[in-house]
Amino acid sequence: MKRFFYAFMALALLASCSEPRWLRPDTTAEQTDRDDIDCQRWASREAVARAGGFYGSPYGPLGRSVSHGERPASPARTIDEANLTNFCMRAKGYQHR
């Protein structure tokens, strides 16, 4: 179990050292990270809103609301979120690395 923990921590450390995925000459790495997070959040909200017709209603039986965190995201929604995030970042002037 300890080996798994150490291997996981080493991978997490290496992943945190990677270069940013997005480039825009007039921004800092911190601003790029903030924009990326903002776009990911927007894409998640947009995918949930668009999902009503494709992935089922967000409401449970008798119209009671069901938390979106209770259902796993479908592969189609995951791809939709990634595409929306890319769209948002490009709209902000970033280029994908």
* Structural domain boundaries in the chain: 22-96
- Lowest mean pLDDT segment, chosen from 9-13, 35-39, 49-53, 54-58: 54-58
* β strands within the chain, DSSP E: 22-23, 95-96
- In angstroms, the CA 75 to CA 29 distance is 30
- What would the pLDDT profile of 43-78 be if each residue is shown by its tens digit? 998 888 876 665 555 544 444 445 555 556 678 888
The model's pTM: 0.61
